[in-house]
Structure 1
Amino acid sequence: MKSFLMDLNQIRPSQLYLDQDKIDRLGGAFDPLNVRYNAPLPIKKNGGEAFLTDGHTRAFLYNEARISVIPVYWDTDDLDMDLYQTCLNWCRQERIMFIDDLKERILPHDQFEKKWTKRCEEAIQSEK
């Protein structure tokens, strides 16, 4: 995995919400100012747009710390690209284009599970 630096504003989120519990957990252990030593975030391309496949909470913490250039790598995992396309479409419909757009969409864990995780599970089931 070869990592490189990319402007966070050039990377689209692929989820509609953040989990407050995860932000709280990571907030104590993740130091966004330590960019050089933090694990890079996985991204893929959809058309001409790069998007996060994971690491939305860390991306959010970078953004909150006003760190705009972050370490990333091209995710080569075999992912369900139909699901990611659906998620990216949901984000466009909800006008979630930048990680900063999620700052007003932070939910308690149980609501995150209901509103996001369940929605994704239902989308997977409808693909079958």
Structure 2
Amino acid sequence: MKSFLMDLYQIRPSQLYLDQEKIERLKGAFDPLNVRFNAPLPIKKNGGEAFLTDGHTRAFLYSEAKISVIPVYWDTDDLDMDLYQTCLEWCRKEQVIFIDDLKDRILPHEQFEKQWIERCARAVKGED
């Protein structure tokens, strides 16, 4: 895995919400100012757009700390790209274009599970 630096504002989020519990947990363990030593975030391309496949909470913490150039790597995992395409469409429809757009979309853990995780599960089954 070869990591490189990329402008956070050139990377699209692929989820509509953040989990408040996870943000609080990561705040104690993740130092966004320590960019050089933090694990890179995984990204893929959809058309010409780069998007996060994971690491939305860390990306949000970078943004909150006003860090815009972050370590990333090209995610080579075999992911459900149909699901990611659906998620990216949901994000576009709800105008979640930049990681900052999630600042007003932070949910308590149980609500995050219901509104995001269950929605994704329904999409995988073709129900959403």
TM norm structure 2: 0.98
What is the CA distance between 1:92 and its match in structure 2? 0.1
Q: CA deviation at 1:41?
A: 0.0
- C-alpha deviation, 1:56, in angstroms: 0.0
Q: Percent identity?
A: 83
Q: How many residues align?
A: 127
Shift of 1:4: 0.1
In structure 2, the partner of 1:62 is 62
Regions of 4+ moved over 6 Å: none
Report 1:1-128 matches (<5 A).
1-126=1-126
Give 3-state SS (helix, strand or coil) of 1:126's partner: coil
1:121 to partner: Cα distance: 0.2
Partner of 1:33, secondary structure, is coil
Alpha-carbon separation, structure 1, partners of 2:97 and 2:19: 18
Letter in 2 for 1:97: I
Q: Distance in 1 between matches of 2:69 and 2:53?
A: 17
- Hey, what's the Cα distance between the residues in 2 that align with 1:56 and 1:80? 18
Where does the alignment leave 5 or more consecutive residues of structure 2 unmatched? Answer: none
Partner SS state of residue 126, structure 2: helix
> Aligned AA for 2:123?
A
Rounded to whole Å, the distance in 2 between the matches of 1:121 and 1:80 is 12
Aligned letter for 1:19?
D
